[in-house]
Chains A and B, each alone.
Chain A
Amino acid sequence: MSEWPLWEVFIRSQHGLAHRHVGSLHAPTSEMAVCNARDVYTRRNEGVSIWVVKSADISASEPNNKDMLFEPSHDKIFRHPTFYDLPDDVDYM
């Protein structure tokens, strides 16, 4: 059974929110992966939608490239708009 591919599971907990990565699992097909995700991750009413993606299909950044990817934004404070007051009615910013 070790040849079953690994799938990353994303669940949208409610309408209006983005899918969030919740974990991974093994399954022989994408349909079975959705079924298994239902059993492993949504038994307590967590979601309205499930995505599964083969882990092998995800391209990830190298830890070594952290500086190149993230460092340059530190000195550009206008990219961190923490000094704006948000109205209370605006959720999920």
Chain B
Amino acid sequence: MNNNIEELSLSLFMGDNNLILSHRLSEWTGHAPVLEEELALANVALDLLGQARMWLEYAAEISEDYKTADDLAYKREIWEFRNVALVEQPNGHFGDTIVRQFYYDNWHKLILEHLYQSENERIAGIAEKSLKEVRYHLERSAQWTVLLGDGTEESHNKLQTSVNHFWPYALELCNTNTANSGFDDDLASLSRQTWIDSLSNIIAEATLQLPETEFSYSGGREGIHTEHLSLILAEMQCLPRAYPGTQW
């Protein structure tokens, strides 16, 4: 029996969320509306990939089944992934991507600020390193949320639709009703309210409204995913699966 089950669960959760969102963002490469945004989206994707690597390297050290971060990324089956459904969702239009990112960045910053206080030096170290990047991610997605939400009538309506659409997925980030999450209930319940509070200033400035529904997706941490993840994994894993151990 693994003695570090909480640490393993936490690092897989953090690592998988970052890994899958990074993959989604990288799909914008070659398709972004302008050159500057293309670079920015790719940079955020790279930041998240680097963070995923730190978490998964730690997970691989604890894990009894997988030896390296690459093993965890490329050799796991879909039901072994622990990410929330939010990060699997398709990019949609630019506003969709921005709202998904804004929800995620807010939560990401809060959770890292908490993990930064951890007594586990490894976890605190990864959190400290990640925070510098995530503060910038949030700055960007918050600015875009305000620009588009408080922009034209069309951009406002599109963004409000995105805000409604991603809401149940985003709530899963703070879902307290999951076992083996690696978080204690205090943190989970605290961060759900803190998370909603942290959104509200920017949402108000963007003249948008958060939905009132409390329905939340769940299951990601138990390995239950939307069909989107299977397509992501098929693309991400096909090369190492077809040519095991290949290098370039």
Contact = CB atoms under 8 A, between A and B. Distances in A.
Interface in B119-152: 136, 139-140, 143-144, 147
A39 B44 CA distance: 9
Contacts of A39: 36, 39-40, 43
A35 B43 contact: no
A35 B35 CA distance: 13
B242 interface: no
Interface string A6-37: 00000000000000000001111101100110
Interface string A40-84: 100100000000000000000000000000000000000000000
Given A38-B136, A39-B43, A43-B43, A27 B143 contact: no
Contact of B140 (A4, A25, A35, A43): A35
Contacts of B43: 39, 43
A35 B143 contact: yes
B40 A35 contact: yes
Given A35-B40, A39-B43, A26 B143 contact: no
Contacts of B179: none
Chain A interface size range: 10 to 19
A31 B34 contact: no
B245 interface: no
B139 A26 contact: no
A28 B147 contact: yes
Contact of A25 (B33, B36, B136): B36
Given A32-B147, A43-B43, A26 B136 contact: no
Interface of B: 33-37, 39-40, 43, 136, 139-140, 143-144, 147
Interface of A: 1, 4, 25-29, 31-32, 35-36, 38-40, 43
22 contacts: A1-B33, A4-B34, A25-B35, A25-B36, A26-B34, A26-B35, A27-B36, A29-B147, A32-B147, A35-B136, A35-B140, A35-B143, A36-B36, A36-B37, A36-B39, A36-B40, A39-B36, A39-B39, A39-B40, A39-B43, A40-B36, A43-B43
